[in-house]
Amino acid sequence: MRLLLYRARTLLGVNYSLMTEYRAEVCLWVLAGIMPFIMMGVWMQASQDGSFGLNAVDFARYFLVTFIVRQLTVIWVIWEFEYQVVEGKLSPFLLQPMDPAWRFLAAHLGEQLARLPFWVLLVGLFFYLYPQAWWVPSGYGVMLFIPALLLTYILRFLIQYTLAMLCFWLERASAVETLWFMPYMFLSGMAVPLSLFPEAVRTVVMWTPFPYMVYVPVQMLLNPGQVNVPLSFAVMGLWIVGFWLLNRWLWRLGLRQYSGMGG
Amino acid sequence: MRYARVLGIFWRSALLAESEYRLNFLIAALSSIGGAAGTLFTMWLLFAGRGNLSGWAWPEALVVLGIFLMLDGLIASVLQPNLSRIVGLVQQGTLDFVLLKPMDSQFWVSLRNISLWGIPNLLIGIGLLIYGRAHVAGSVGTLWLAPVALALAAGTVYSLWFCIASTTIWFTKVWNATEVLRMMMEAGKYPLAVYPRGWQIALTFVLPVAFFTTVPAEMILGKRPWEWLWLAGGLMLVLLLASRWFWRYALRYYTGASA
């Protein structure tokens, strides 16, 4: 247990220092996530005549929390993994008595820390420019939001890491991520709050993993009454277990393929 | 003339290399179709049964989206495969070889490669533009404007993109700067009028997304007199010259592989 803690601390420390080297780039990464602010503008303007049952402030808060959720769940493991597999850099890690997944996860958490000040600053700037949107979330909402966010993180990481396993067979697996990004963009609630979807569409979409990456955590903070809380956690758990099993299976299969490539 | 011949050779070799990755093209086509469908669905929800959104009817909004997709296709096919390589050229010092060639270096770094990734978006964009324009009720602008306005918009996008990519000379790891630009371009999917005041100002003066999609669309639809071409042309020319000057200025700070 002590060894485990020691490892975790070292990995995190190293990765955080590494990422602070790239401060300028991290700042740009944060800026690349401004898409929710674009959609915020569109929806705030469109809601002026009261067509949606949500007013401008509701939309502002929705997309602000969307921005925060997106920042806190940024995953890029597929690009890193692709690079390491194509360049053969994965090999030395395989010799270590630790699954390389932990190394990738630590890199993500380090980057997460380095990114924090930039997006907090942006959120502050937003409230300065648009003080009407300021509010204090309910305690119940926060209590649901934190575990939901954690599960969202695990789910996003697992899905992308599973897609990354395709690197063992395809040279450009990150192209698959580009394809995956499309349904994520439109079905997760990043472009439209899912509550505005036609009933039938929403019912179907709620069974896919996408809404649990943005819409569900956002709603848990803003209006927990809008989502079926136990069902949401159950669906998230199911997807996590499913992708975890798929991931381990592909990993074992892929390693055989990988060593074949080297030998 | 010499440049045209060289360009032909460049692109033929690039396409040959590209044909190695046919699966990529299929993926690009699928994600283009998905992206267009998703945006149309979002736009349909935005309209929410209303006849128009801030003065833009549905077919008119389609024209804007069509122009956006065409520009996005051009970016994916021409700008992305070239300008993303500048980082590598600078990091490894291979920019030396480009500078030694008896050819304009900006031409080389901007047009050396071409990719098929953007073709699906380009085609969908053309389709939406034609469909939208055919369904607009009432008076519409002259059609000859369309290619001119689009060429000017493409030139403007290129110049801005190239300036950002040139900053690589100083920062080397600036790959994401163009990615940020691409994300901000997303704002051009919708007509400028659907944004609140503050956004409109930012999208006109900070990042001239308005000149990429809304202004060309307005000219094509006859919502804006054709004389606006002069302004769009002037803006493009200024930015193009700025990009040339900026590239030369940046090169002065390039120390090469040996330094």
Looking at chain B from residue 136 to 195, which residues have their Cβ under 8 Å from any Cβ of chain A? 171, 173-177, 179-180, 183-184, 186-187, 190, 194-195
| A171 vs B contacts (CB less than 8 Å) | 21
pLDDT digits (tens, 9 = 90+) for B1-11: 788 888 888 88
pLDDT attached to residue B238: 94
Label residue B173 by pLDDT band (50, 70, 90): low
User: What percent of chain A shows pLDDT beyond 90?
Assistant: 61
Shortest alpha-carbon distance between residue B107 and chain A (Å): 27
Does the distance separating the beta carbons of A191 and B42 come in below 8 Å? yes
Does the distance separating the beta carbons of B31 and A178 come in below 8 Å? yes
pLDDT attached to residue B15: 86
| Chain B interface includes A35 (CB < 8 A) | yes
For chain A, the residue count is: 263
Its pTM stands at: 0.90
Could you give phi then psi for residue B7, rounded to 5 degrees? -60, -40
- pLDDT of A194 > 80? The answer is yes
| Chain A interface includes B104 (CB < 8 A) | no
Does the distance separating the beta carbons of A181 and B31 come in below 8 Å? yes
> Rounded CA gap, A118 and A199, in Å?
38
| Chain B interface includes A182 (CB < 8 A) | yes
| Chain B interface includes A31 (CB < 8 A) | yes
Facing A179 at nearest CB: one of B27, B186, B198:
B27
pLDDT digits (tens, 9 = 90+) for B80-126: 888 878 877 887 778 888 888 888 888 888 888 888 888 999 999 99
Shortest alpha-carbon distance between residue B3 and chain A (Å): 32
| Whole-Å CA distances, A144 to A153, A194, A221, A232, A238 | 14, 19, 7, 11, 18
pLDDT attached to residue A199: 93
- pLDDT of B138 > 70? The answer is no
| B46 vs A contacts (CB less than 8 Å) | 42-43, 46
What is chain B's alpha carbon radius of gyration, rounded to the nearest angstrom? 19
Mean predicted confidence (pLDDT) in A173-196: 90
Does the distance separating the beta carbons of A41 and B38 come in below 8 Å? no
pLDDT attached to residue A263: 42
- Taking Cα atoms as reference points, which of B106, B96, B81, B89 lies closest to residue B163? B106
pLDDT digits (tens, 9 = 90+) for A51-82: 888 899 999 999 999 999 999 999 999 988 98
Shortest alpha-carbon distance between residue A34 and chain B (Å): 7
Facing B34 at nearest CB: one of A38, A183, A191:
A183
pLDDT digits (tens, 9 = 90+) for B195-247: 999 999 999 888 888 889 999 999 888 888 888 889 889 999 999 999 999 98
Tally C-beta pairs within 8 A across A and B.
90
Q: What is the mean pLDDT of chain B?
A: 86
Q: What is the ipTM of this complex?
A: 0.88
Locate the domains of chain B by residue range: 2-251
Shortest alpha-carbon distance between residue A117 and chain B (Å): 18
pLDDT attached to residue A41: 93
Looking at chain A from residue 187 to 246, which residues have their Cβ under 8 Å from any Cβ of chain B? 191-192, 196-197
Facing B180 at nearest CB: one of A32, A170, A186:
A32
Residue of B nearest to A22 (CA): B173
- pLDDT of B174 > 60? The answer is no
Residue of A nearest to B182 (CA): A32
